Structure 1
Amino acid sequence: MENEHNKLFPEDQARVDAYLKRGYNETERKPFRPLRLLFILFLMVTFFTLFSLGLARWFGVY
Structure 2
Amino acid sequence: MTSRLNPEDQRRVDEYLKAPQHQVERKPFRPLLLLGVVVAVTIGLGLLSRLLSGLVL
TM-score > 0.5, shorter chain as reference? yes
TM-score (norm 2): 0.72
Give aligned pairs, total.
54
Of Structure 1 and Structure 2, the greater helix share is in: 2
Structure 1 residue runs of 4 or more that deviate by more than 4 Å after TM superposition: none
Structure 1: gaps spanning 5 or more residues: none
Give me the whole-angstrom Cα distance separating, in 1, the residues matched to 2:37 and 2:11: 44
Kindly, what percent of the aligned residue pairs are identical? 31
Q: What is the TM-score when the length of structure 1 is the normalising length?
A: 0.68
**Residue in structure 2 matched with residue 15 of structure 1 by the alignment:** 11
From 45, 50, 55, the equivalent of 1:48 is 45
